[in-house]
Structure 1
Amino acid sequence: MARRLLYLWLLSLWALCWGGPAEAEQYDMDFPGVNSILPIVTRPANASRIFYGVMFDAGSTGTRIHVYTFIQKDRAELPVLDNEMFQSVKPGLSAYADMPERGGDTVRQLLKVAKRTVPRLEWKRTPVVLRATAGLRLLPEGKARSLLKQVHEVFEESPFFVPDNSVSIMDGTNEGILAWVTVNFLTGHLYSSSKKTVGTLDLGGGSTQITFLPKSKKTIEAAPADYIARFDMFNTTYQLYTHSYLGNGLKAARLATLGALGAEGLEWRVFTSSCLPKKFQEDWTFGGITYKVSGVEDGSAGFKPCYEEVLKVVKGIVHQPLELKGGSIFYAFSYYFDRAVDAGLIDGSEGGAVEVRDFKKRAKEVCNKKAKYRTVSPFLCMDMTYITCLLKEGFGFKENTVLQLTKKVNNVEASWALGATFDYFQKLNIR
């Protein structure tokens, strides 16, 4: 049934993009009762059954464009995601809080990718959507609104279809849920009869999300009420454990560790941390604000004092789901993947499976041999230690828990963007 409804949904999406003139031939539907769900679909006789979707991910550290190509190769087969074109620019929109026009220019540049990917004849019926995440959620409302207004104007001047609510800030809970939808769709779990799914861990710059399908009722009963979300997809109701921690993304955690989050007097203050190399001193910019940061030249250094610092950012803030002590399978991406590559834990092109203790072991090595890794990033010790602390002391994963670190699944970016594309067309009933 789930596979059948996925078929119907993609057909309805195809109909939205291909609804044709009166002389078009009627599209045959092979499932009984389908006409009670969908309108009669028509298409030009010689048309290729291809449709597109453009989704912008406006994150705290960069803006990314995903151009998805869906194709139906045969009337009797399920339409599939055929291709994704992906590109990104840095910094993120939030860095242009006081220069919204320049923020709009970054989106305008990325739209060129969509123009190159989507055939010209399809521009007018290809929807373009932008969803912003933690970077804009952390901005004052007025500045965030100005940026979104500028992006909407850029969309309106483009040749693409601009739907209602095409530009908005995504709720953190939706961000976690839609990343879970993406990964489980790409791994085949959403339309599998086995009912087995995988959990997802997303570590952005401003926020971090954890989402999984609980196996135990105790997990649901013990969780805060707003950590449980129910939604229907393809005739199946899912009850997920999901939460987004705003301010616990990798870059925001750096600020908190340094004691710089929300601090004043930035023009004269220097923020120090034992997680940084002793002789390191530099200006560091995040969210359009520049901070002076340095190591502690005469103080203690290494993994232990660094761990004590980042523990304050995690302890008592991150909830520990009961069943994470067990053997649940989790896919981890974004900065989990990037920092594992930087630290030499995994190959950047292949990804790989690592245990939580592998992060801890490599964090110790990076922190105790900062000079060796300084050329990679002076923040690598802090970042690896924070990831270790977040997984162990925050979420409560056991040291032998295996995480599948990935950037792409079946050659598609592991993020919420594909799930958000589905969300736009199907309007998930999240409650």
Structure 2
Amino acid sequence: MSAQRDMKEKNPWHTPVTIIFSVIGVIAIVALVTVAVLQNRPLPQKYKYGIVLDAGSSHTALYIYEWPAEKDNNTGRVEQTLSCKVDGPGISSYASAPWKAGKSLTKCLEQARQKVPVKRHSETPLYLGATAGMRLLNLEDSSASTKVFQAVEEALQKFPFSFQGARILSGQEEGAFGWVTVNYLDDRLEQNLQTRGALDLGGASTQISFVSDNFDGSDSPDNAVAFRLYGNDYNLYTHSFLCYGKDQALRKTLAQQTKSGPGTILDPCFHPGYTETKNYSVLYDSPCVSDRKPQGAPATFNHTGKGNFSRCQEVVKRIFNFTECKYSQCSFNEVFQPRLQGPFGAFSAYYFVMNFLNLTDTSIPLEVVTERLSRYCATPWNQVKEQHPGVKLKYLAEYCFSGTYIVTLLTKGYNFTSENYPNIKFIKKIKGSDAGWTLGYMLNLTNMIPAEAPDSPPLPYAGYVSIVTVIALLLFVLFIFSLRPLWPRCSKHPQII
């Protein structure tokens, strides 16, 4: 027993100093790892919000976006959290009763009030952008346009958000911001991937926007927009055709067919058996066609469908000018357009019409698309109504025309062919957010996309913690080995008898 006691007394590991140093070393290592983990652990996410109202020609929609509040310079990923379609037509339709334009927005704004946390209300920017419908109203009656905006602004200012104003977007802005939205949501900007062109079709205008290596803006400076995003420069071609949205294009085709003021027209763009009495003054109540109203026409005309795709396409082509071009190449109406390049995303009415017609799959050959449209347009009106009982008759009646118009616009207008037509992707949403100009508009106004690529940590969080842990363990092992001179030698262990 005395020998064992002597051995313990001579063993340096049993000295108080060694024990104290060992304990301190272990505590230091544990503290280092704990602090690293706690300091860098993911925290509960806090968000900021932005609200954009898209006041289009046929309707208004409200969108709420959110992004992480802790990101430096508000560079967090922006996502759509709510979309609300305003009841009733677009605000331009309330020219004779402007106060109704403001009142129509209340229901969706109340939803926004509930969705955005109260503590964020006062710092949440609220924007309203009006597009082609208000552009047309401003051309036709600027006083009425001003009164509509006054009513809208009064309604928006009653809510607790940070109202940033209501304005009419130019066609160039609408096209450019749609391009930003599509490529931002697809992560093509931050990752420096090939960008996707944007094809937007509304009720009163249509936009085409894409990056082309053959376009530097010198041929048509009005169609050039330059962006510097995430450290990359983009020279964007964009053009907006006012009066070539699907609703105004329909007016233009009807105007072509009624220019002599007949009492009846046989329209190949509507189904056989379709018939409706329409008012001349209503048809020509738009700046897009008002100067073409026939003199001495009766008050109404009988609109009768014949359902013939080929003849419909011939009627549609008459609203375009394909013969004159003062540039090296044009789309239509003497507008310069560079050679198409890269993939394209087609959204808004492009998607909704082609989705109804079950033609969003662009792997279907273009020839098959036209064959299916031909069969659909030739379907009797009564049969179409039986097949789609839940669709409003006004919209249902126009799908033959709208599908024909889209194919004609893409192929004859923008020069898509059977070879590059599959490059088009018809899209409604990208990663849960609606495709359209609103997100790009907000990103631009809030500087959410930096001009230069933001710096990022050299290591992800998990990698960082792993390396710190390994280094800490290595230091502990080295500390143990540093005490090697104090280790007891086996040869010196006393023999126990």
User: Would the TM-score normalized by the shorter structure come out above 0.5?
Assistant: yes
Q: Quick one: distance in 1 between partners of 2:312 and 2:362?
A: 27
1:148 aligns with 2:149: yes
Give SS of 2:346's match.
strand
How many Å apart are 1:264 and its aligned residue? 13
- Verify the 8 A CA contact 1:366 1:380 in the aligned structure 2: no
- Verify the 8 A CA contact 2:47 2:69 in the aligned structure 1: yes
User: Which of 50, 55, 58 is 1:58 aligned to?
Assistant: 55
Cross-structure match for 1:311? 317
1:406 aligns with 2:427: yes
User: Compared with structure 1, are the counterparts of its residues 78 and 247 closer, same or farther at alpha carbon in structure 2 (3 Å cutoff)?
Assistant: closer
1:230-267: CA deviation from partner (whole Å, max 9, x where unpaired): 233344332111000000001010100100899999xx
Matches within 5 A, 1:237-276: 237-259=233-255, 273-276=267-270
Cross-structure match for 2:168? 169
User: Compared with structure 1, are the counterparts of its residues 161 and 269 closer, same or farther at alpha carbon in structure 2 (3 Å cutoff)?
Assistant: farther
Cross-structure match for 2:397? 378
Q: Quick one: distance in 2 between partners of 1:148 and 1:231?
A: 30
User: Which of 37, 46, 49 is 1:49 aligned to?
Assistant: 46
Cross-structure match for 2:441? 420
Identity, % of aligned pairs? 27
1:228 aligns with 2:224: yes
User: Compared with structure 1, are the counterparts of its residues 67 and 85 closer, same or farther at alpha carbon in structure 2 (3 Å cutoff)?
Assistant: same
TM-score between the two structures when normalised by the length of structure 2: 0.67
User: Compared with structure 1, are the counterparts of its residues 254 and 322 closer, same or farther at alpha carbon in structure 2 (3 Å cutoff)?
Assistant: same
How many Å apart are 1:102 and its aligned residue? 0.8
How many Å apart are 1:81 and its aligned residue? 1.8
2:247 partner amino acid: K
Normalized per residue, which structure has more strand?
1
Give SS of 1:314's match.
coil
How many Å apart are 1:296 and its aligned residue? 3.8
How many Å apart are 1:75 and its aligned residue? 7.5
Q: Highest Rg: 1 or 2?
A: 2
How many Å apart are 1:356 and its aligned residue? 4.6
Cross-structure match for 2:85? 88
User: Compared with structure 1, are the counterparts of its residues 207 and 354 closer, same or farther at alpha carbon in structure 2 (3 Å cutoff)?
Assistant: farther
User: Compared with structure 1, are the counterparts of its residues 77 and 201 closer, same or farther at alpha carbon in structure 2 (3 Å cutoff)?
Assistant: closer
Q: Quick one: distance in 2 between partners of 1:353 and 1:292?
A: 44
- Verify the 8 A CA contact 1:178 1:420 in the aligned structure 2: yes
Cross-structure match for 1:16? none
Q: Quick one: distance in 2 between partners of 1:261 and 1:416?
A: 34
1:340-363: CA deviation from partner (whole Å, max 9, x where unpaired): 1211224xxxx8765554542332
Q: Quick one: distance in 2 between partners of 1:252 and 1:115?
A: 35
How many Å apart are 1:111 and its aligned residue? 0.4
Matches within 5 A, 1:278-317: 278-279=272-273, 280-282=275-277, 294-296=302-304, 301-316=307-322, 317=332
1:233 partner amino acid: L
- Verify the 8 A CA contact 2:272 2:379 in the aligned structure 1: no
Give SS of 1:398's match.
coil
Q: Quick one: distance in 1 between partners of 2:123 and 2:61?
A: 21
Cross-structure match for 1:12? none
Give SS of 2:244's match.
coil
Cross-structure match for 1:210? 208
Q: Quick one: distance in 2 between partners of 1:331 and 1:293?
A: 39
Give SS of 1:197's match.
coil
2:59 partner amino acid: G
User: Which of 350, 368, 372 is 1:336 aligned to?
Assistant: 350
Q: Quick one: distance in 1 between partners of 2:283 and 2:63?
A: 24
User: Compared with structure 1, are the counterparts of its residues 423 and 278 closer, same or farther at alpha carbon in structure 2 (3 Å cutoff)?
Assistant: same
1:38-76: CA deviation from partner (whole Å, max 9, x where unpaired): xxxxxxxx9963100000000011100000111257789
How many Å apart are 1:381 and its aligned residue? 1.3
1:70 partner amino acid: W
- Verify the 8 A CA contact 1:207 1:245 in the aligned structure 2: yes
User: Compared with structure 1, are the counterparts of its residues 361 and 144 closer, same or farther at alpha carbon in structure 2 (3 Å cutoff)?
Assistant: farther
Number of residues paired by the alignment? 368
User: Which of 109, 112, 115 is 2:110 aligned to?
Assistant: 112
1:205-253: CA deviation from partner (whole Å, max 9, x where unpaired): 0000000010234x856x5332222233344332111000000001010
Cross-structure match for 2:100? 102
Q: Quick one: distance in 2 between partners of 1:106 and 1:91?
A: 9
- Verify the 8 A CA contact 1:183 1:409 in the aligned structure 2: yes
TM-score between the two structures when normalised by the length of structure 1: 0.76
1:321 partner amino acid: Q
1:78-103: CA deviation from partner (whole Å, max 9, x where unpaired): 62224420011231111111111111
How many Å apart are 1:365 and its aligned residue? 1.8
- Verify the 8 A CA contact 1:205 1:249 in the aligned structure 2: yes
- Verify the 8 A CA contact 1:182 1:419 in the aligned structure 2: yes
User: Compared with structure 1, are the counterparts of its residues 137 and 358 closer, same or farther at alpha carbon in structure 2 (3 Å cutoff)?
Assistant: farther
